[in-house]
Structure formats: structure tokens, C-alpha cells
Amino acid sequence: MGDHMYLNEKQQTAVACDDGAIFLLSGAGTGKTRVIVSKVKSILENFDTNSKILILSFTRRSVFDLKTKLQKTSDNLFITTFHGLCYSMISTDFDVKIFDSNFRSSLNLSDQEILQISAKKRLLDFSNITTKPFYEYSSFLAKNGLIDYTDLEILTLKKLKYSSSNDDESLRFDYIFIDEFQDTSWVQFEILKCLFLKHTKIFAVGDPDQSIYSFRGTGERVIETYIKTFKSSTLLLDLNYRCASKILLHANLLIRHNRSKFRKQLSGVKKDEGVVKCFLVKKSDIEKSLVILNIRKCIIEGFQQKDIAVIFRNHKDAVLIKQGLFDQYLSDVQLLSMHQSKGLEFKVVFIIGIKHRLFESKKVLYEERRLLFVAMTRAMDRLYIVGHVRDSKVSRFLKECKFKYETLD
């Protein structure tokens, strides 16, 4: 019960709520993992120690974190990813061989073409995909006895819907928790519906502002559908424990430009304002020198290399920085894409390569804005952003953040 002493009022409400279906709208850094852990412990301590609980998360890292915090809690507690769950079900039927990067070089298709095929499949939409890339991809998988992760999900869904597996006692759960629900695809949502029984209580945690995998068919609409399907109540966590106040101010200014049915504004508990600096450069070599110099300053001021991250949008923007870090023996500084940074936090964050661009649709605009918001909210104490000037133009996102610029020639 000791964990509950450290919960704020809204976290306590989420832990105590006994509604059959709950959606917890949890902003960046608001302690969602603590709520999940506390709620699971509360169920096992106060209700039924034999309750069968499934926790689904989206990365092996988050699964490991949850397992560490809930170790030895119960023999009836199952913590895995959606793909881990699907694999455990399908591997009992045949030897599963997953298409991964080891096979990528043998296939004459671009990453974008493969993403488009997977996105269509995840939407359970097989119309208009009898294209040459789809035929080549499908033939390659069949010839090599492979399935991809989307196939794995679809096979699981078919097994749940059309076989006696729904009578399988191992799949009958009293409670289902889903972390990072905004990343749930439509296939995964259908799997969830199959696992939901009359007595099952369901608890989903997510944040539309951190939905950054729209190419997988995820987004805000799946949250709306969840609430409607399960007649879910909605609770809110909006007190941020991670970011210094200045960082949070600029992040809020940015994300408010995305219109959402799940409107919220994060407030912070940290009294320290932190450091936020935005630099404008015209050349990538200036960006590299600037970042390396400021990393060195941070280290001199007492920050460790492992507490520093450099986050980029496109891999080509990271080439010079990567070489610079290597040359300066800064091998412990984390170099991550915006997608890779999701779920992590660092005392010092540098975001590089922010350029002016035109967006082909509102969907893409909103996604790119969410990506920058996710990157910004990884920072705990210091945030440095480097924007590029093109024909006297800077990224609209930097203007939306209302940064004070320092221009370097």
C-alpha cells in the first residue's frame, strides 16, 4: 500500500475508480506507469489475489519496466506486448518466422512501399492493394515461409474470432490494461474486443498528443471508438513531473495548435524554470559545432553524458552530429530519432534539424507537430533546439513555440 502515499489526487482517483471500462487521458510525464502499477497492486491487495490480469504495452523496454516494478506480485499477472501476445498464440499452431531487417536487403522495395502495404493491412483494408509492390512483397513472404507483424496480428484475430480459442482458459482475463493506447492499430483493437468478456474490466491509458505512428493506422479515432464501444468513463492526468516550467510552457504553446477532442494543458510541479535556448543556423556544420560546444559546456557544469540526448527527425540530419560526437569521444551521449525517443527522458535534450517545410495535408502537419512535442517533453532540465534558416524562412513550429531566437552565421 506504500505506493499509494505518493500519488497525487488525480492519480489516486484513477487507482480507486472501479468502473468497468476506463480511459485515462495521461499527458507526457504525468506518471501513468505509477498509476498502472499502483492500480494492479490495489486490485491484488484489496479485491482478489487470484485475479487474472493482462497488461499490454508497445515496446519491450516498457514491458521490462513494468515487469521490474511488478515482479513477484502475482502468478496470474501477464505483461507483454501485443506482438508478444500474438506470437504466443500463433506459435502453438505453426513455426513462426517473422520478416525483419535481416531479410530486407533481399527485397527490391523501398521502406515507404512496405510501410504503405502494412498500413493498409492494419486498417483491415485490402482494397486497391493488388499492386506490383504488394504482389512482390506477398510473394517474397510466401516463398520464404515468412509473415510480417501485421500478418501475425491478423492471424491472431482470425484465431480468436473463428476458432474455439475464445474458450481457452488462458485467454480469460479479469482485468486488461493497455498502455500507450493511442498507438493501438485497428487490428489490435479488434483483438482487444475478442479478449473482452462480460466480467472483464478494462483500463486504457493514452495521449493523442503523443500519437506519432499514424502510418500504422493509429490515432485519436481509435480512442474515441474505444470509449464508445466499451462505454468507458474518462479520467485525466495533467500534472507533469518531468519538465522544468519553461520547457513545459513552450511545449504547451506548440501542441495547442493541434485541434483535438481531448483538449488539455499540462501544468508542472517543478519550481525550477530550467533552460530553453533556440538557435538558428544556415549550415549543418555550424549546427554540429554549436551542439558539440554546448554538450561540452553541460558536461563541465556537472551533467553526465548518459543524461544528454541529441534528437533528430531525419537520419540524414544526424550524420555530421554522429561523426562529431565520435571525434570528441562523446560516445555515451544518446543519439535518437524522434520516434526512438518516445517514452524516454533526459536531463538535457538537443533537438536538431528543425527546418521550414510545406505540409501536404493537415494530417501530416499534426503528426509532425506531435513528433516535435514528444521530443521536447523528453527534456527534464535543459532544452536546446536548432532551427535551420532557408530563404529567410524558419519552421512554423518554432514560431508557434514562441522561442526567442539566437541567430548564428
Give the chain's residues under pLDDT 50: 1-4
- Architecture per CATH, 9-90+157-237: 3-Layer(aba) Sandwich (3.40)
What pLDDT does residue 196 have?
Answer: 94
The torsion of the CA quartet 147, 149, 150, 152, rounded to 10 degrees, works out to: 70
Residue 320 pLDDT: 95
Predicted pLDDT of residue 3:
45
Task: Locate all alpha helices (DSSP H) within 283-378, ordered by sequence.
Answer: 284-300, 319-327, 338-341, 362-376
CATH superfamily of 245-407: P-loop containing nucleotide triphosphate hydrolases (3.40.50.300)
CA distance 392 to 394: 7
pLDDT on residue 104: 82
In the chain, the amino acid numbered 373 is F
Question: Which part of the chain has CATH 3.40.50.300?
Answer: 9-90+157-237, 245-407
Mean pLDDT, the chain, rounded, equals 91
State the pLDDT at residue 177. Answer: 98
| Residue 174 to residue 47: CA distance in whole angstroms | 11
Q: Which residues of 124-134 are buried (b: 16+ CB within 10 A; e: fewer)?
A: eeeeeeeeebb
The DSSP element (H or E) to which 281 belongs, if any, is: strand 275-281
pLDDT, position 129: 59
In contact, 279 and 304? CB cutoff 8 Å = no
| CB hemisphere CA count around 404 (13 angstroms) | 5
**In terms of Cα–Cα distance, which of 55, 282, 67, 79 is closest to 176?**
55
| CA distance to 96, 98, 113, 320, per residue, from 135 (Å) | 21, 18, 12, 38
